[in-house]
Amino acid sequence: MPATVLWRESVAFRRRTALEMVLFVAVILLALTGGYHIASERAQVQQKAVAQDIADSIDRIVTDARTDERKLMNLAGRPCPEIQANLTLKDVFIPYRGSAMMVQDGNVYCSTVLGAVSIPLATYLVPSGDARQIAFLGGTRPIPDVPVMAIYAPVDHRHGILYIARGRVCCGHPCAGKGVGRQERVGLRRIGSHPHQ
């Protein structure tokens, strides 16, 4: 066989081999890209479902708090023993929330569960006017490692109602970072940190 024929066959073989390698790499890259795209879409769908569950739970808690406010707002400003005398067992253990607390002049003074207390409202959130507020906290002083959602509903310029819901009530997910869009203020901080962090 002449050398030119061998040389041509050798060049053709190299070209075929190079083409096969390029096709092989292209197929692998295409498969990896497709797999990544599918996995990414599935993760986004799952994240949206979890976020929607949390938003629905928060919305349910806020709606229930508004319903409870109608009864409790008439008790705002009264002495704690009088408040507790007017509460039934159903009022003391509020669904989704550990307790409701009465606030006067920026100080929590009565808890439906604990009775008379003296805790600055700023321990939970910094009130800003007459708007309802929600804050997600990494914990509270009594239970530092349990995330909670604090809902503050002002009754008037001196009085309000503070609800504390444990983070676990949000579909088993800690309530950290997902707020209801129509709320006026949503914050995330750990007790003891600066309120604007």
Is residue 175 within 8 Å of 165, Cβ to Cβ?
Answer: yes
DSSP 74-143: GGTTS-HHHHHHT--HHHHS-TTSSEEEEEETTEEEEETTTEEEEEEGGGT----TTS-EEEEES--SSS
* pLDDT exceeds cutoff 90 at 38: yes
How does residue 191 score in pLDDT terms, banded at 50, 70 and 90? very low
Please identify which residue in the block is written with the tokens 């604090």: 150
Tokens (6 digits) for 127: 């009130």
**Residue 51 reports pLDDT greater than 80:** yes
Least confident span in 32-41, 66-75, 132-141, 166-175: 166-175
Q: In CATH, which superfamily holds the domain spanning 1-197?
A: PAS domain (3.30.450.20)
pLDDT, one tens digit per residue, over 114-164 is 889 999 998 888 877 778 888 888 887 767 788 888 888 888 888 998 888
Domain-wise residue ranges, the chain? 1-197
Give tens-digit pLDDT for 64-118.
777 677 778 888 888 989 888 877 655 555 555 667 889 999 999 998 778 899 9
Query: What is the value of pTM for the model shown?
Result: 0.61
**Is the pLDDT score of 172 beyond 60?**
no
**Cα(168)–Cα(87) distance, rounded to whole angstroms?**
26
Length of the chain: 197
- Long-range contact list for 117-126, CB < 8 A, 24+ apart? 121/152, 121/160, 121/162, 122/195, 123/191, 124/150, 124/152, 124/162, 124/164, 124/191, 125/150, 125/152, 125/187, 125/195, 126/195
> Per-residue confidence at 11, pLDDT binned at 50, 70, 90?
confident
- Identify the pLDDT of residue 74: 82
CA distances from 50 to 5, 40, 43, 121, 130 (A): 67, 15, 11, 31, 32
pLDDT at residue 196 tops 50: no
User: Is the pLDDT score of 26 beyond 90?
Assistant: yes
Alpha carbons 65 and 137: distance in angstroms, whole number: 18
pLDDT at res. 190: 36
- Quote the pLDDT of residue 95: 55
Cβ burial of 162 (10 Å; 0-12, 13-18, 19+) is buried
